[in-house]
Structure 1
Amino acid sequence: MIALSAAEIASITEGVLVEEAQAGIVLTGSVETDSRLVTPGSVFFALRGEVTDGHLFVDAAVSNGAALIVAERDVETSVPTVVVDDGVVALSRLAAAVVERVRRHGRLKVVGITGSNGKTSTKNMLRAVLSDLAPTVAPQGSFNNHVGAPISMLRIDDDTEYLVVEMGAAGPGEIARLVDIARPDTGVVLKVGLAHAGGFGGIEGTRAAKAEMVTDLPTTGTAILNADDDRVAGMASVTAARVVTFGQSPTADYRASEIEVSATGTTFTFAHGDLRRPVALRILGEHHVMNALAALSVAGEWGLDLDRAATVLEGVARAERWRMELFDAPGGVTVVNDAYNASPDSVAAALKTLAQITPSGHRSVAVLGEMAELGEFARDEHDRIGRLVVRLNIGQLIVVGHAARHIHMAAGLEGSWDGESLLVDTIDEAYDLLHPTLRAGDVVLVKSSKSAGLRFLGDRLAGVSE
């Protein structure tokens, strides 16, 4: 974080500094909400959560070196404390102020990324491209909500030139609040799908929420939209910013064609203006082409060398931990561990990739768990995935957990199968059932929402540890 005094932090957060004698102390360390991540000089925000209360961990934060505590009540501690009415609001105020100060005194450019799928992968690709050129800050993992995104923004300092903000939401208004904090120069919308549909009331509610990324962009800003998704492309009518598009559509400003997928990666031909060049991604899956296009679109609109940007993308080894991670497992088995997140669109894309990369004459295996947060759409969407497994001619399906049972039931109802789909209750049962049957040449996809925990099954099958 940029250097701020305790008094400045109290003023920005509209809080009260308990120890006035400490008003002049200057903070330059990280801002954390997890006491385990605190290092000497950190500012610790004690936030109340659904599971626990950060105020219970103030002593732990101080023991780890916290130099300032921001809390919603006075706490007995040996370091200065700022007491605020609402910790989350205070965190947002601090992030907004820091971003604005760095922007005012430096060369900072900010890009916001949202979409039902692909946010983290696109963020990682763009971070690689921008970091190749100048100091860049982007969130680790999926720090994209009302707490994680501001924490990521507070990582910037006076030397930062590029800030990449991933913006997720579980309900209306959340992306708008993040946009208000970060004030992006460029907003990217990747896709509108049914991820977290339970919180939005359906696909149109999701569309309205994702459109919050571009509705408040200034006329000097740029809205980068997926030309292949009608709901995203239609957002051009609700933004005052200049609109740029990407996709496979021949009318897109940044285009991909001749896409090919194999177990070694994904290739396509990239075109923009007079530039036309092949791109060979090491990242697995046709759906990552759109993420790469989005990253290239930002680079192009910011005046960066697109050929160099494409070369950087070709060197990115994986999208993210547990996202289409490919392993050469013992015994000649290939495991694709994609069980960090799951929505109907991402599961369908992963299954399509499984079918594409399984060599002729060898067996494809899908191990699937629950797609969470679908609300009233859960049964129909799990049913649709089960039928898709059969239509893609996947060789074996193992469904894990009662919440995902409709995948198994739908696969059986689709016909032409006899025992190819099996339903088990636990991860251990799935491992004990599958592992003894694996043979050289099998390709196994493990896919579920994070809450189902199948990412650990994928690691176990692959013979890797965290």
Structure 2
Amino acid sequence: MIPLTIAQIARATAGDPLLSGDDTLDTVVSGTVDTDSRLIRPGDVFVAKPGETTDGHRFVATAAEAGAALALVERPVDAPLTQIVVADAVTALADLARAVVADVRERGDLRIVGITGSNGKTTTKNLLARILEGEGETVSPRASFNNEVGAPLTMLRVGADTRYLVSEFGASAPGEIARLAGLVHPDVGIVLMVGMAHAGGFGGIEATFHAKSELVRAVRAGGLAVLNADDARVAAMAPIAAEGEVNVRWFGRGADADVRAEAVEVTASGTHCTVVADGVSAPLHLRVLGEHHVMNALAAIAAATALGVSLTDAVARVETLELAERWRMQPLGSERVRIINDAYNASPDSMAAALRTLAQITRPGERTVAVLGAMSELGEYAEDEHDRIGLLAVRLGIQRIVIVGPEARRMYLEAIAQGSWDGEAVFFATADEAYDYLLGELRDGDRVLVKSSNSVGLRFLGDRLGESFS
């Protein structure tokens, strides 16, 4: 965090300072802000956030022992450090982030990019950050820090010399993106796609459209919306951009996109294509597995070139990224048995894309194996969407379909109904049972996809398989 006095922090958070030791209202604090007491270092700021399973106030003393300079609390705690008592810790965190970013923006040359979409946010964030890091100091989220806590924590990492802030905005209900993006009003807003992820929480696909369009509405006047020309719902956000005096830059596979991909070829080592941006072309070897990640790369390149990065530099930096993030199309195992661990998140769109990738990268003589768990947060759409994935797995010719967990059983039943009843499709109630089966079933030449929502935990099954066949 930029240096601020205790008085300035109190004003930004509408809090009441309770001084400790030699501190005064003019004492300057400049450490990292965090809600996890285990990560606190000397000089840091601890935010005592109440949680579903525990309460951050229990760890204020722990933060003090670690050397915290200050704590944001909702009630005073008996601990030897200065505290600022606020009405709501999460709201105070957001207010502090808003104030810090505004201060840096006013005094420097900070450019802010916001990213949202039903799928691909984290991959696009990492690709864009890799590009922009070559231009100047860049702050981007760790992992998927994209919610009401993670996004402000990322914003608070900006400093006087930060040139780019890349923010990822996720949401599970309407209004969340508006609140987060409204803290900073990005110069550039990227909308990747509108799909079924979190459809249960939003109340359907149209409600998801309105939620994702909140980012376009939050872009500052004169800024830029980078929109997916191949997604009809994203394309329908162009009038919203026009209403806010925001320009539009299109990315996609079609000829009319400002930034597009041609001659796409998917291999086990990545995807090859030619990127065309504003009439200039460059070959790209995207090492992140999956044809669907070409769109994420195009979005990142579209934003970066709009910010003044040359296409040549943008493509060269994208090519250096081998892995989007742990548990996202992560290659494990060995050439003998290759494991693709993509079980950090799953929606109908990302599940379908991962299955298609598995089919595309498997060569003659190799066998496709899909280990699939439930897709969460689909609400009333869950049964139909799980049925569709079971159907797709059969139609793609996946040779072994391993379904794990009772919430995913519909995929197994659909695969059986479509003809995979002679051992091609199997069901296991637990990951341990599936692991035991796979240890005996997998053989040389197998290409194995492990895919589920984060809550199911199949990412750990993927790790175990990767270790066993390394």
Give TM-score scaled by structure 1 length. Answer: 0.98
What is aligned with 1:146? 148
Aligned residue for 2:455? 451
- The corresponding residue for 2:410 is 406
- For residue 315 of structure 1, what is the aligned residue in structure 2? 320
Q: Distance in 2 between matches of 1:61 and 1:18?
A: 16
Q: Which residue of 1 aligns with 2:398?
A: 394
Of residues 57, 61, 64, the one that matches 1:62 is: 64
Contact 1:338 / 1:448 at 8 angstroms: preserved in 2?
yes
| CA distance, structure 2, for counterparts of residue 40 and residue 208 of structure 1 | 43
Counterpart amino acid of 1:344? Answer: P
Residue aligning to 1:11: 11
Superposition pairs of residues 193-204 of structure 1, within 5 angstroms: 193-204=195-206
Separation of aligned partners in 2, 1:92 and 1:410: 45
2:190 aligned with 1:218: no
Q: Which residue pairs with 1:175 in the alignment? A: 177
Give, in whole Å, the separation in 2 of the partners of 1:463 and 1:246: 38
Tell me if the contact between 1:326 and 1:336 (Cα under 8 Å) persists in the aligned partners: yes
Distance 1:370 1:35 in 2: 33
- Asked if the contact 1:22/1:80 (under 8 Å) is kept, the reply is no
Q: Say which SS state the counterpart of residue 94 (structure 2) adopts.
A: helix
Deviations 1:347-372, CA, capped at 9 Å, x for gaps: 00000000011111221000001111
Q: In 1, Cα distance between the equivalents of 2:279 and 2:380?
A: 47
1:107 aligns with 109
Structure 1 residue ranges without an equivalent (≥5): none
Letter in 1 for 2:305: G
Counterpart of 2:288 (choices 283, 287, 290) is: 283
Matches within 5 A, 1:36-435: 36-239=38-241, 240=244, 241-329=246-334, 332-415=336-419, 417-435=421-439
Q: Distance in 2 between matches of 1:65 and 1:422?
A: 53
SS of corresponding position for 1:182: coil
- Counterpart CA distance in 1 for 2:150 and 2:107 is 25
Shift of 1:421: 0.8
Check whether the contact 2:194–2:234 (CA below 8 A) recurs between aligned residues: yes
2:186–2:220 contact (8 Å) kept in structure 1: no
Measured against aligned partners, the alpha-carbon deviations of 1:150-174 in whole angstroms (never above 9, x if no partner) come to 0000011001000000000010000
Find the residue that maps to 2:346 and give its secondary structure: coil
Structure 2 residue matching 1:82: 3-state secondary structure? strand
SS at match of 1:463: helix
CA distance in 2, matches of 1:138, 1:263: 29
- Percent of pairs with identical residues: 55
Tell me how far apart the structure 2 counterparts of residues 37 and 427 of structure 1 sit (CA, whole Å).
31
CA shift for structure 1 position 61: 1.4
Match of 2:142, as an amino acid?
Answer: Q
Q: Structure 2: how far apart are the matches of 1:35 and 1:190?
A: 34
Instruction: Determine the C-alpha separation between the residues in 1 that align with 2:466 and 2:294.
Output: 25
Report the alpha carbon displacement of residue 417 of structure 1 after superposing the two structures with TM.
4.2
Shift of 1:216: 3.0
The residue type paired with residue 291 of structure 1 is N
Residue 390 of structure 2 contacts residue 415 of structure 2 at CA under 8 Å; is this kept in 1? yes
1:303-325 Cα shifts (integer Å, max 9, x gaps): 11111110010110111100001
The AA in structure 1 aligned to 2:294 is V
CA contact (8 A) 2:174 2:211 kept: yes
Q: 2:15 is matched by which residue type in structure 1? A: G
Cα distance in 2, alignment partners of residues 72 and 353 from structure 1: 48
Deviations 1:75-125 (A, max 9, x none): 111110000001111111000000000000011000000000000000000
Structure 2 segments unaligned to the other structure (5+ residues): none
Instruction: Look up the equivalent residue of 2:164 and give its one-letter code.
Output: Y
1:200-238 deviations in whole A, cap 9, x for unaligned? Answer: 001001000000000132331100100000000100011
Instruction: Give the distance between the partners of 2:358 and 2:217, measured in 1 at CA.
Output: 37
Q: How many residues align?
A: 464
